[in-house]
Amino acid sequence: MKKYFGTDGIRGRVGTFPITPEFVLKLGWAFGKVLASNQQKKVLIGKDTRVSGYMFESALEAGLVAAGIDTVILGPMPTPGVAYLTKTLRADSGLVISASHNPYYDNGIKFFNAKGCKLSDEIEESIEHYLEEPMITVSSEKIGKASRMQDAAARYIEFCKNVFNTNESLAGFKIVLDCANGATYHIAPKIFAELGATVISLHIEPNGLNINEGAGSLHPQTLVNAVKTHQADLGIAFDGDGDRLLMVDHAGEILDGDDILYILSKYYLAQGYTDEGVVGTQMTNYGLEIALKELGVPFERAKVGDRYVLEKLQKNNWVLGGENSGHILCMDKTSTGDGIIGALQVLNAMIYAQKNLHDLKQGLTKYTQILTNVPFAFSSTVLLNSEAIQLAVKQAEKNLNLGRVLLRPSGTEPVVRVMVEGIDVDNIQAVSSYLVDAVTKAGN
């Protein structure tokens, strides 16, 4: 069991251990020691728009250079942009200061290896080993150097534009973008406008405190209203660090990650990826699994977390996967979940099929899912393995007419996620209430 790392780096409340300047300084040093032990020397650091990012950027830089590692400061950058630059600039690692979709008062550190992929469990365990060691600065002649890259955003913009079909244009498309006052605020509008679209941009004025606040992929109603008001062809919402998205069609209907995976599966199949399968997660709607089966597309589930989706994609040598939360991985284009790249691929699919977004999603009938977050006060592993919860799950499955039950700890928040999925709405509501009550009682 790792002490600090969750499913996507280290995350928590700013000012509460471990998300403190002292710890992040030590974390930078510990990671630097791991890199140095492998003869690696160069790290990129990006961040989203949280006010605490300034503090942690300085702390990380100080810790890394104290371990003898050169650092390059990128400024506000989407998480997948940092992954891309890490790979193309031949850096040894990329770090992102972000708490993704969480409120401004949370923050965290995400890690990428030299290939722009998440770190292995072994590397994370090595970092945790050094976190328990005393911090000793290398000798003065070995201290790392720090610099700032001025054109980081421009490089990522060009990469995204080149992923779009170079024979096509977005001329004639009216697109509403919701950038969540996050890391895509100065990047996404330029990409879609330079590809020819008429762009209406929402939430592109970050002030350090308004990231994700009533905006972005977690709060789509503003986007729905804007698409209808502007009579746009579609809307796209990103989260705070730009690694996930949701979309809204011209009728105001919301498309989540499962809808997007279905559309891209049909597009990839038409492009000749006939031997490819798709990787989802435990939370992927059962309706998508059925729809893919009807298309003849293999489907497998991974644990929740885009790193686990990536691992299974690499194992199977497939290119398309994602989560219903909106993490979409197109491994033929990039190395990690990327909201902008995912959206551009959907637009490629629309142009190829000569269909609007509403028509393109037809063929996928999703089961009703009820997902409830239940706070807990102690170890989620102990809670979920308790006899009371095991008996409650068995009873819930017995009571469920047709569907699935899933209880899992969040990797980013102190909650247990209770999911019940099925066709009979009244039945799944009753089963969900029963399970939520059982988890609540067991957790008190």
339 phi and psi angles, rounded to 5 deg: -65, -40
CATH class of this structure's domain 10-150: alpha beta
Give the fold, CATH level 3, of 368-443.
TATA-Binding Protein (3.30.310)
Model confidence over 296-319: pLDDT tens digits?
999 999 998 888 999 999 999 999
pLDDT given at position 409: 82
Would you say 66 and 137 are in contact if contact means Cβ atoms under 8 Å apart?
A: yes
Going along 217-298, which residue ranges are E strands? 234-238, 245-249, 254-255, 278-281
pLDDT band at 2 (very low <50, low <70, confident <90, very high): confident
Would residue 196 be called left, alpha or beta, if left means φ above 0 and alpha means ψ between -120 and 50 degrees? left
Name the CATH superfamily for 155-360: Alpha-D-Glucose-1,6-Bisphosphate, subunit A, domain 3 (3.40.120.10)
Nearest Cα neighbor of 148 from 54, 53, 68, 44 is 44
Q: What is the DSSP letter of 141?
A: G
Q: How far apart are CA 203 and CA 181, in angstroms?
A: 5
pLDDT mean over 330-347: 97
Q: CB neighbours of 93 closer than 8 A, spacing ≥ 6? A: 31, 35, 40, 42, 43, 44, 86, 111, 112, 113, 114
One-letter amino acid of 72: V
Model confidence over 216-254: pLDDT tens digits?
999 999 999 999 999 999 999 999 999 999 999 999 999
pLDDT mean over 29-48: 97
Domain 155-360 shares a fold with domain 368-443: no
pLDDT given at position 297: 97
* Distance between first and last Cα of the chain: 24
CA atoms within 13 A on the CB side of 99: 23
Model confidence over 382-403: pLDDT tens digits?
677 888 899 999 999 999 988 8
For all residues of the chain together, what is the average pLDDT? 95
pLDDT given at position 379: 59
Domain boundaries, the chain: 10-150, 155-360, 368-443
Q: CB neighbours of 383 closer than 8 A, spacing ≥ 6? A: 376, 389, 409, 416, 439, 442, 443
Omega cis (within 30) before 18 = yes
pLDDT given at position 274: 86
Model confidence over 125-175: pLDDT tens digits?
999 999 999 999 999 999 999 999 999 999 999 999 999 988 899 999 999
pLDDT at 377 over 70: no
Structure tokens at 128: 């945790």
Structure tokens at 251: 């009728």
254-255 and 245-249 strand pairing: antiparallel
pLDDT mean over 62-82: 98
Nearest Cα neighbor of 323 from 304, 340, 295, 307 is 304
Catalytically annotated residue among 93, 100, 325, 380: 100
pLDDT given at position 55: 98
pLDDT given at position 52: 98
pLDDT at 410 over 80: no
Task: Decide if 100 is catalytic.
Answer: yes
pLDDT at 443 over 60: yes
Q: How far apart are CA 243 and CA 246, in angstroms?
A: 11
pLDDT band at 9 (very low <50, low <70, confident <90, very high): very high
Model confidence over 92-107: pLDDT tens digits?
999 999 999 999 999 9
Would you say 137 and 143 are in contact if contact means Cβ atoms under 8 Å apart?
A: yes
pLDDT at 413 over 80: no
pLDDT mean over 199-210: 98
